[in-house]
Amino acid sequence: MLNLTRKTDYALVALAYLARRRAEDAQPVSAKQIAQRFGLPRPLLMNILKELVQANVLSSTRGVHGGYELAAEPARVSLLEIVTAMEGPVKLAQCVDGLPIVGQGCSLSEDCPIQGPIRSLHRRLNLFLAEVTLKDLWEDRLNQADGSNLDTKESDTAACGCRATHDTQLENLPLGTPPLIQPAGAEIYQGA
């Protein structure tokens, strides 16, 4: 199961909102305003925004007209940057980087039948996350709003902590870049 924590969920909500504000040439916005707008817990959101500033995804300005805004154009902010800022490096399994697992040796490491395929899938997932940008996510939302996104099903949800149901199975993904879907059986984890 692939999991994203509530931190990533809230980060994506805030970043999508800031992407829209950037498109409207709006002024920076405070953590308090974002928290009130979406009903998010302000202390947690403030920590998330600070982490995104440290990762150079956001910039912040102090003062009366201060607040947060994107540090770059939405097309230059990858989903991999966002997830890594919130969760740390994306890893499907502990052994995907080929480094020894300190104190947790795997008894299958010498003759593991899935080591190669898991590493390949891991590379594809990271490549995909690096190719998807905040702009892509925002444009998908705009497509859904006007009904022109024909691939979207009623049961699909954005990164809002809800389960999404999809017919596509992981083994049926094309050899190229996987589509922006949540594989069947995956869920967004609402842990802290």
Domains of the chain listed by start with CATH number: 6-91+134-172 (1.10.10.10)
Tell me the per-residue pLDDT of 110-160, one tens digit each, with 9 for 90 and over. 677 877 888 888 889 999 999 999 998 877 655 665 554 434 333 333 334
Q: What is the pTM of this model?
A: 0.67
Q: Could you tell me if 6 and 131 are in contact, meaning their C-beta atoms sit under 8 angstroms apart?
A: no
pLDDT at residue 106 is higher than 80: no
Q: Which parts of 39-101 are beta strand (E)? A: 58-61, 67-70
The full 3-state SS of 16-48, as one line of letters, equals HHHHHHHHCCCCCECHHHHHHHHCCCHHHHHHH
Nearest residue to 77 (alpha-carbon basis) of 157, 16, 145, 126: 16
**Which residues lie below 8 Å from residue 79, measured CB to CB, with a gap of 6+?**
129, 130, 132, 133, 134, 136, 137
Neighbour tally for 73: CB within 10 Å:
13
Q: Which amino acid is at 79?
A: L
